[in-house]
Amino acid sequence: MMDFEDQLRRALERKDPSADFTARVMARASQPKKPLAWVSWRSWAAAGLAASLCLGALGLEVEHRRKVEQEGKAASAQLIRAMHITSIKLQRIHKRVQGSL
Amino acid sequence: MRVSYCEGSVIGSLAQEVGIPQAVAEADRSRAFEAAVREHQAMIYSVAYHFLQDHAVAEELAQEVFLELYRHWDEIESREHRIHWLRKVASRRCIDQSRRRKLRNHVSLEEAPEPFTWMPAADPILKRYIEQLLGKLAETPRLVVIMRYQEGLEPAEIADVLDMPVATVKSHLQRSLALLRRKLSFATREGEA
């Protein structure tokens, strides 16, 4: 009976791959490296999503600034009108005070 | 000038110095690579086949290993370095492949059923049976046994290829051999009885 370790060596002897193995490796090695379709698709999708998010955020910011500006203008107009009314009332009081004197 | 042991790299460097078109150097590199594939294909395919026990998957894995070698061709310094590099990459890829595709039979070697027929020594059936038993070892011990008995490496060399302490390699070897021997002697005794 063969030694156990010899049996293992025999069972694990090197085997040759298919006859066209080298040719297949060489064919694959000579192919130009192309990005995989799914990588490309994912990159484009990620870029599109990022661009959409940026545009969305920019739009929201512009809209917010426009709103603040409008509110500022309205407040300013309201203040001017209030001051105008106050001025008219003060003039009337001033005239009455002068008439009574 | 950086002198590389790889034939392709040396020719490539010379070609650049004397102004030979890059295409010629590339052709020489390709020829040197082809020679390397022919020289080492049985080693890499056998490591993958004995580990994965699947001809098609082993061939695919071996091809991937050689394509990786092609990409790192200029980093290889000598034939010995190339062999060491190939064994290392093949081992790593075998474990990755095994984990990814769950090729490993979930029955452990301890739980593997015993054969019921007599198998005389050196019988092809016995050879196949040993391969099957090997396939039931866990990933790392399986690689250790393959490196020891297919490649004939010493424990220190195996430790270097598989990035593990020599003591771990020896322990894997001892335990795996004991298990395999027990299974095999049981099969032989059953057959004789």
DSSP string computed for A35-100: --HHHHHHHHHHHHHHHHHHHHHHHHHHHHHHHHHHHHHHHHHHHHHHHHHHHHHHHHHHHHHHHH
pLDDT in the model for residue A80: 94
Which whole number is the average pLDDT over B150-162? 96
Q: Are B66 and A27 in contact (CB under 8 A)?
A: no
Interface residue B174 vs chain A (CB under 8 A): no
**pLDDT band at B50; cut points 50, 70, 90:** very high
Alpha helix (H) residue ranges in chain B: 7-17, 22-52, 55-71, 79-101, 124-135, 139-149, 155-162, 166-192
H or E, element range at A24? helix A21-30
Helix (H, G, I), strand (E, B) or coil at A32: coil
Work out the mean pLDDT of chain B and round it to a whole number.
82
Task: Evaluate whether B102 touches B54 at the Cβ level (below 8 Å).
Answer: no
Residue of B nearest to A13 (CA): B150
pLDDT higher for B126 or A93? A93
Contacts of A20 (CB under 8 A, 6+ apart): none
Domain segments of chain B: what residues? 7-101, 109-192
Q: Which residue of A has its CA nearest to B147?
A: A12
Closest CB to A12 among B67, B126, B149: B149
What 3-state class would DSSP assign to B137?
A: coil
ipTM: 0.73
Same fold, B7-101 and B109-192: no
**CATH number for the domain formed by residue range(s) B109-192:** 1.10.10.10
Copy the structure tokens of residue A42. 């994912």
- pLDDT tens across B114-144, in order? 544 444 545 777 788 888 888 889 999 999 9
Percent share of chain B, pLDDT over 90: 55
Q: Which CATH number fits domain B7-101: 3.30.70.590, 1.10.1740.10, 3.30.450.20, 2.40.50.140?
A: 1.10.1740.10
114-143 in chain B: CB under 8 A from chain A: 121-122, 126-127, 130-131, 134
Stretch 32-61 of chain B: residues touching chain A, C-beta under 8 Å: 33-34, 37-38, 41-43, 45-46, 49-50, 58-59
